[in-house]
Amino acid sequence: MSEPLLNTSVSDNGSELADFSAAESEAPRGNVWLRRLLVLSDSLGITFAWLLTSITMLSRQPWWSTSKLGFLPVVLAVTLATIAGAKLYKARVCSVRAVETATLIRAGAVASSACWLIAGRVGADAVRVSTALTSGVLSFAFVMTFRTLYRAALESARSGGRFTRPVLLVGTGDEAYELEQMIADEPELGYRVVGVVGRAAEAAERKFAAPYVGQIADVVELARASGVNGVIIGSSSLGFRELNRTVRVLLDAGIHIQVSGGLLGINASRLRSNPIGREAAFYLEQVQLTGWQSKVKRALDLVLGTLALILTAPVMTLFAIMVRRDGGKAIFRQQRVGHNGK
């Protein structure tokens, strides 16, 4: 999906404005198509799981019986409804793999229980508790597999500039600039900055790739004019009161908001939501492992490392012989700077 160029003009006060209408026209259609593709992917996973369960656990039942193919529409409807009810077709839920996995496990348990309760009412008496549980476990495995393939295909498409979500970047400080650079360097994240909102002088100084479109006080009007429904806020670029006022205004306008934590380079998995009173705050986990964690990690390193060396030894030996035959050195040595500059 090619991305049209943005037409820019300069207003009377020297700020650069952009006409985003052409660039955003394809975004809603792309989002709907992707969601339908994900629903289809889940449907295939659920169908395969039920067919496999039917073959292994309901072998005495004829294929056309209510307990086999006749019960498939019920399994599909209940499981998909449960997945949708858990908001697993929302990007904010699926974007974090651990959250997606945990939510899918809960949705699978609920769907299995619901299918077992419904089975007796629709005449599928052969569907027992064990059958429903087996179907739930297999559904989770197949759905996660298909979602992994879906995620890989989507990331590949996004790397080529397709299916990216247009957003406004609010803030013109150093953090906002770093955010824009990261988004540009990692298109697989799925964002495309189409405009920068903040202070004109700071935007001109830092030379953002996206056009400067206006002041923070006008952010809602700028978002509506651009056709985007989401913004990313570089929190350190705004003062405390300005940040809170801007977030509330955007929320009232129904615009999706992502606020950076001001901790670039810190792994998000180390952040824990830990409010101070009524105020939102994060606790930052230490990097160091506890005593038992260090021992487990060391044991895994030794066991897995040894297995990997044994399995790859024949191939590594072959490569070493080939390198030596070409006149090279099979073992590479080099002095490197280590801990504390040693």
Strand partners, 196: 169, 212
pLDDT above 70 for 21: no
Query: Which range has the worst mean pLDDT, 25-34, 90-99, 152-161?
Result: 25-34
pLDDT grade, residue 172 (50/70/90)?
Answer: very high
Average pLDDT, the chain: 81
What is the pLDDT at residue 2? 34
* Residue 38 per-residue DSSP state: H
Distance (Å, whole) CA 63 – CA 55: 9
* Residue 217 per-residue DSSP state: G
Is-above-0.85 flag for pTM? Answer: no
pLDDT grade, residue 251 (50/70/90)?
Answer: very high
For the range 88-92, what are the long-range contacts, defined as Cβ-Cβ under 8 Å and sequence gap of 24 or more? 89/35, 89/38, 89/39, 91/165, 91/190
Burial of 194 (0-12, 13-18, 19+ CB in 10 A): buried
Query: Which range has the worst mean pLDDT, 33-42, 55-64, 116-125, 276-285?
Result: 55-64
Collapse the DSSP code of 42 into the 3-class scheme (helix H, G, I; strand E, B; otherwise coil) and give the result.
helix
Q: How far is C-alpha 128 from the chain's CA centre?
A: 36
Q: Find where tokens 């001109």 sit.
A: 204
pLDDT above 50 for 4: no
pLDDT grade, residue 320 (50/70/90)?
Answer: confident
CB atoms within 10 A of CB 219: 22
What is the pLDDT at residue 126? 67
What is the pLDDT at residue 60? 65
What is the pLDDT at residue 9? 33
Q: Span 196-214, mean pLDDT?
A: 94
pLDDT grade, residue 248 (50/70/90)?
Answer: very high
CA angle 267, 101, 233 (to 5 degrees): 40
Structural contact between residues 118 and 78, judged by C-beta atoms closer than 8 angstroms = yes
pLDDT grade, residue 8 (50/70/90)?
Answer: very low
CB atoms within 10 A of CB 104: 22
Max avg pLDDT among 12-26, 89-103, 325-339: 89-103
pLDDT grade, residue 134 (50/70/90)?
Answer: confident
Q: Span 44-55, mean pLDDT?
A: 88
What is the pLDDT at residue 67? 57
Q: Span 135-143, mean pLDDT?
A: 90
pLDDT above 60 for 16: no
Q: Find where tokens 């705050």 sit.
A: 281
CB atoms within 10 A of CB 164: 23
* Residue 199 per-residue DSSP state: -
Pairing of strands 16-19, 7-10: antiparallel
Distance (Å, whole) CA 64 – CA 75: 15
- Quick: pLDDT tens for 253-305: 999 999 988 887 787 778 888 889 888 888 888 776 667 777 777 888 888 88
